[in-house]
Amino acid sequence: MSEGEIKNWFPYELSKPVKQVSPIVLAYIGDAIYEVAVRQYLLSLPNLRPNHLHRSATGLVSAKAQCAILQYLEPMLTEEEREVARQGRNAKSGTIPKNANVLEYRHATAFECLIGHLYYTGKQDRIAELVHSGIEFMKAGKL
């Protein structure tokens, strides 16, 4: 872990080494971490009406948006990050997507898995970098 990076936000460590954690479990925490990042971004903007916040957040955290972000970020990922995303994409979740096709849903799971992996390996700066790049990409095309 490099200087200036923190391990976790709270003092609850994983029950086993991160490499032994299921990609679906990493996606579970990655989803939450990404949601907090998006909400913090939205609160930095001038329009703080709850309905606007909700609609804007949905546009960034949907499976379709996460799929697009992952595809955009792919060339920027390290080999290790690509492998983590691949494992997340190939993991069987047992859930049927409601508002996305199966491919979008799998890529969204891959993105969330990557964020979860980065979180549990203490790479907060890398999460910030990737999330910022993804939000900027979405702003340029959708927001």
The catalytic residues are 31
CA 136/CA 131 separation, integer angstroms? 9
Residues 6 or more apart whose Cβ sits within 8 Å of residue 134: 69, 72, 73
| First vs last C-alpha separation in the chain | 34
In the numeric block, which tokens belong to residue 81? 């990050």
